[in-house]
Each structure stands twice: as C-alpha cells, then as structure tokens.
Structure 1
C-alpha cells in the first residue's frame, strides 16, 4: 500500500504535476521579478482613502496574512487561485484574470466554461505570470493560502490589494467562499444560496435516510500515477458533502487528517474497500466518463470488490468540484438523480 500526493479532482495529471513542483519554482520566480516588474506595477495599487466628499472608497478586511485595505467596489479583480473563479461565479462577479484551464477545460461544467471564456490568462499555480497580472491593472487580487504563500502574497500586494483566505481543511470551502464574498463587498449575495443549500441537504438526508444508511460508501477516483487509485476522505470537499447527508464511509475511506484529504493506493490493494457496498466516482462536466477513472474501474481487483460485484458503482457529476453553494446544490441533485433515486 502506498500513499502519495493527490491533485484536487478535476485537475488533469499534467496540471497536478505543475502544482506539485510549483512551490519549488515560484519563490525564485517572484524574487527575480520583484526588482523590475513590481516596481513599475506598484502604482496600480494606489487607492484614495476618500472620494473627495468624505465617503470612504476603501474598507479593511481580515485575511489569512494580515488585514488588507480593499476597494469598497472593486471593478478589476484577479482570481489568483484555482477555485476562486468558481466561487466568484456563485457570487455573480466576473474576474478579469484567471489560471490557464485549457488542460482540463472539458471537465468543467458548461456554465463555468462560458464564465471563464475570453478571460485573460495569468499563468498557472506553478507559474503565475507577474507581468500579465500587472498589465491587467487589477484593483483587487483574491487567492487561497494553499496556493499563495507569504512571499507570493507580498509580491502580489505590490501590484494591488491582495486578499488571501484559508481554511483548516479542503472540506471547509464555506470559509473561503465567505472571505471571497467579503473581499468583493458582496457578503449578502450568499444568503439566498446558503439557505437553499441547507434546505437541500436537509431534504435529501430525510427523504433518502433509509437508502443512504443501508450502505457503506467510498469515493473512488484515479491516483497520482499509473496503477494507483484514490479514496477521498470526509475532510475533502466531496467527502464532507456526502457526510452532510448522513453517509457512512468504509473504514479506509473514513480516515481523516491526511495532508491532502485523499489517500492513494496501488490498484493491487482494492481490498481496502472490501467493507464498502456502494462506490461513487467522478465523471466529466457533462456526465461523460473520464479515461483515468475508467482505467481504475476496469482493474480486475476493483471488479472483484463487493460494490462492483453487486453493481453499486455510480458516476456522479459535480460532486468533485464543490467549492461554493451553487456547485454543492448541483452535486446533491446529481447524486439524488444518479444514485439515490436508483437504489
């Protein structure tokens, strides 16, 4: 049995490799660029305290690294982390710059594909393009502390006010989302979606209580390399959503406290889910099979598991892309239609 770093599901293996090695290259990249590009870009971050009538044009918010003074009504926002554009979509604010999603564009939902189409690209997690960010003249940059360390934060802050948010686990996307909404001065925009999400969780948990509780569950996907599979744990975003409706996980799947909220195993070790009677796995943004997942499910060792033997294996759209209330509601409805209503 082996455990290794696993990319957030929905990110292709090539993008994931960039994410793993990125931390080794970003520091030197930003250090080298700071003396030249950032000096010229610093002027872009200047914000008047008032509008001349005594009305404040800025407000101070709490972020991961320190309090940050941000525009009261930001107009040119950079989404400098992988999931931030998705969270901005839930709030209804379109960024002017995002990561390069070309490597896994087909895995995004049609709505997200449209949302980020024709938006300027600012590089990737492994290689943020500081010149591209500065050239866009943002008045606010938003990011996640899992992807923006303190050195990068300092560099970006020379371009524009930079609000970086964090949470204890990958399951706690609500904390990040609240921070994003606060930085955009749109906290109230989430009230309706939050209430709808809570109603949806309660409805599904009650309606399908018997069907949910009669099974022991696991969330299975591809691993980091060939010949590996992964289990998502309850402290992952997908795992937390399943737990919210009362899912009981198998012994190995129920583990928590792993660095990435996933554990990867050799496909020879599918016996770790021998206590599982129902398996869910990711599919593409339109419900299409994912080749890497299909390769895992085709393994004879998986086909010998109790869930596979009884046909209790289901692909669920959106479950692995939950980072806002809208996506969570969509994932729950997909789970209901694809799995719960079929049991």
Structure 2
C-alpha cells in the first residue's frame, strides 16, 4: 500500500527557494547516529573503463572524483532514482513529499532488492551536516536541489560534493542532464546515456502518437498563495513541452528566473487562454477553484487534477526521473488526450496507482 503524500512536503521546493533558514555553521543538534545506511556499502555496478578521474562542473565550481564512490548521500530531492537505475543504493536520501520506506517509491523499489534502506534526511531546518558526516560518504550529490554556497562549502569538507547546475534556476535543470551528471559521478556515463536515450524515446513515441498535442499550450498549476504557475524551467513544464505542447508564455510570461511564480487568485481566469491545464490539488483552495469553475477551460473539460488521492502517481508526476517518467506516461498521456479534445463529455481515466 502506498502512503498518501503530504502537501506541505509537496510544496517544499517552493520553501527551499524562498523561505529555508540559513545553514548553521555548527550543523544541527539532532542525534547524528544513522538509523539506516550504517552498514557496509552495497555492491554497485563496476565503473566503466576510463570513467575516472572525472571532473564535474556545477553552480559553485568543479568537483573531481578519483574513483567510483561507494557511499553516496543525496542532498537533492530525487537523485535516488538515477542512482538505483545504475545499481547504486544511496546511504541517505533527502525527504521531499509523499512517503515510502527509505523514500524509495514503487517505480524504483524493484531495483532496491535486498539492500538496506537509505537513511532519510530532513532539510526543513537546513542541511543536516552532522548526520551526513556520520554516514561517512565518499560522494554527496544534489542535482534537483537548491544548495546554497555555504551548504556546499560545509559539505565539501566532508566529501566530494556535486551541487546543482549553474546553467539553470535551482530545481530547474532538465531531467536528462541531471541524470547524466549522476551517471558521470558514479562512473557509469554510458549506461546512463543508454537509459536516458530509451526514456526520451518513450516520450517521443508518446508525442508522435498524439499529434493533437502539437500547437496546443499546456500548463501545470497549483493553488499556493493564490495561483502558482510552474515556469518553463520546471521539470513538470519541461515534460509537457517534450510531449509536444507549448508553454503559454504569451499568457504567463516566458522568462522566469525561478521555476515558477505565485500570482493572485484572480489570475486563475487567465487559464481560459491556455489549451490544457494540469492542476495539482485543485480542491485545496476553494477561492481558486471558484474562479476556475467559472472559466471556459473548466466548462470545456480542458483540464484534469492530480491530487494526493492519486497516491504514488501524484508523487511520480513531480519526480521526473528516468525511473518515474515511464511510470507516469501510461497514466498521464491518456489524461492529456482526454483534456485536449475540448469535449467535457470525455472523462480522463483514473490515474491512481
């Protein structure tokens, strides 16, 4: 059974960008002995010939790795999926939203095998430096992340640390680039490239099977401080573009420094000018829902809602990783097809899984 996700954690990405407290130089005062991931590191796939040494550029400079890491700590929110796809079980992951043992979700659990579950870190009060140090990592990685430079400097004193890309907004790098960076860091760039190519082909095949997506605009939104619009650099928006849709920059602006923007609830009426609206938790704010219910978009059925009741699918939709994407596509594409036809009689299929 999949536990229901927490909406507070779902919005954690917003909080990390705007509200997270500064990292205390002394770390946190919680018990630093790990509850999991404390045993010997699991056996990972052997690194590819010539994979090391490797130097990886990121937001705060470059990090050189001399050999394949055996104890990897994830300080980003989704890196565990790419690692598991390569046979690397992290010793620690960072809690985001949803719930699953070790924060390994259904689309990735088969790859965990009999390995020990990762320690689960919390980042609501800053990076847990002491806990991370106690885990004795030989790689700390944060790709879907918003590490501050002070975080990076502290973590680098523990182990080689690969922060998020500096080429995009925090939490805004494309999923494939993040995955390929992880592949390089653990010495399996070719295997990751093959996996990324396969998943991208699945997305391309879905787009080709639905030519009606081409030329239509689509947007992911959620009620949060009014209407929160996920911007063009957000991974959920990127997925819609990869499926053939266009980001409606003429309606909500195209050049956003961060991965999204909160607008007044009244702006919900502007969704009338968007081809398809993908809601996350539409029912969570009655004032936003009231405005939307009066739009032509709602009357014509050009929307659907992915909510906490959809369980693992709700979480997977926001993960956007090489493992979660195929899991999402089989549910997401039929929902988009039902919404894009503009016929309110077309009922999007059930998505819960």
Task: Check whether TM > 0.5.
Answer: yes
Structure 2 counterpart of 1:99: 94
Partner of 1:48: none
Query: Does the Cα contact within 8 Å between 1:18 and 1:126 map onto a contact in 2?
Result: no
CA-to-partner distance for each residue in 1:229-280, whole Å, 9 max, x for gaps? 2222332211111112221344555522213221222222222222124221
Gapped regions of structure 1 (runs ≥ 5): 1-8, 35-54, 283-289
Instruction: Provide the aligned C-alpha RMSD in A.
Output: 3.4
TM-score (normalizing by structure 1):
0.73
User: Does 2:53 align with 1:59?
Assistant: yes
CA contact (8 A) 2:27 2:127 kept: no
CA–CA distance in structure 1, aligned partners of residues 231 and 14 of structure 2: 19
Secondary structure of the residue aligned to 2:83 is: helix
> In the alignment, is the contact (CA less than 8 A) between 1:10 and 1:320 conserved in 2?
no
Q: Deviations over 1:115-168 (max 9, x none)?
A: 699421333164222211111111111123852223222211221122223142
> What is the distance in 1 between the residues matched to 2:104 and 2:277?
22
Structure with the higher helix share, 1 or 2: 1
Cα deviations by residue, 1:193-230 (Å, 9 ceiling, x for unpaired): 22222322322222211x2247443322122x3xx122
Q: Distance in 2 between matches of 1:333 and 1:10?
A: 27
1:19 is displaced (CA, Å) by 5.5
Name the SS of the counterpart of 1:256 in structure 2.
Answer: coil
Q: How many residues align?
A: 297
**1:185 deviation in Å?**
0.7
Give 1:182 deviation, angstroms.
Answer: 0.7
**Bigger radius of gyration, 1 or 2?**
1
- Paired residues of 2:220 and 2:278 also in contact (CA < 8 A): yes
- The answer to which of 103-112 and 318-327 deviates more is 103-112
Cα distance in 1 between the residues matched to 2:122 and 2:157: 18
Partner of 2:168: 168
Structure 2 partner of 1:308: 298
For normalisation by structure 2, the TM-score amounts to: 0.72
How far 1:300 moved relative to its partner?
Answer: 1.7
Query: Paired residue for 1:338?
Result: 335
